[in-house]
Amino acid sequence: MARQNQVKDMTKGNGTAVEMLTKPCLFCGMQQFIRLTEDDFKKWAYEGVYVQDAFPYLSASERELLISGIHSQCWRDHLETEKE
Ligand SMILES: [Zn+2]
């Protein structure tokens, strides 16, 4: 997949790339792996760096996954159910 290669390249040379397991999603209970570097994770987790600054190579939905574990699709489904 092209996007995964891009992530790999962008994290290269900036710490060890790791697969981070997210929290279980509130809605579907599934966990997911997100690829990031240990250095970036430490910046975000311990130094208070904003998620978008610590992981510029992650998409908005991947950042959301990292914070809450909630899939953007599950959010969408949930909000649509609420509306009805
Ligand atoms: Zn989900």
CA distance 39 to 11: 10
Report the SS3 class of residue 20: strand
Q: What separation in Å is there between the alpha carbon of 65 and the centre of ligand 1? A: 9
Q: What is the pLDDT of residues 20-33, one digit of tens each?
A: 999 999 999 999 99
Backbone angles phi, psi at 70, to 5 degrees: -85, 130
The answer to whether the beta carbons of residues 69 and 22 sit under 8 Å apart is yes
Q: Which residue has the tokens 């962008």?
A: 10
Report the SS3 class of residue 70: coil
Q: What is the pTM of this model?
A: 0.72
Q: What is the pLDDT of residues 56-65, one digit of tens each?
A: 999 999 999 9
Sorting pLDDT into bands at 50, 70 and 90, what band is 13? low
Sorting pLDDT into bands at 50, 70 and 90, what band is 1? very low
Q: Specify which residues 6 forms β-bridges with.
A: none
Q: What separation in Å is there between the alpha carbon of 23 and the centre of ligand 1? A: 10
Q: What separation in Å is there between the alpha carbon of 78 and the centre of ligand 1? A: 10
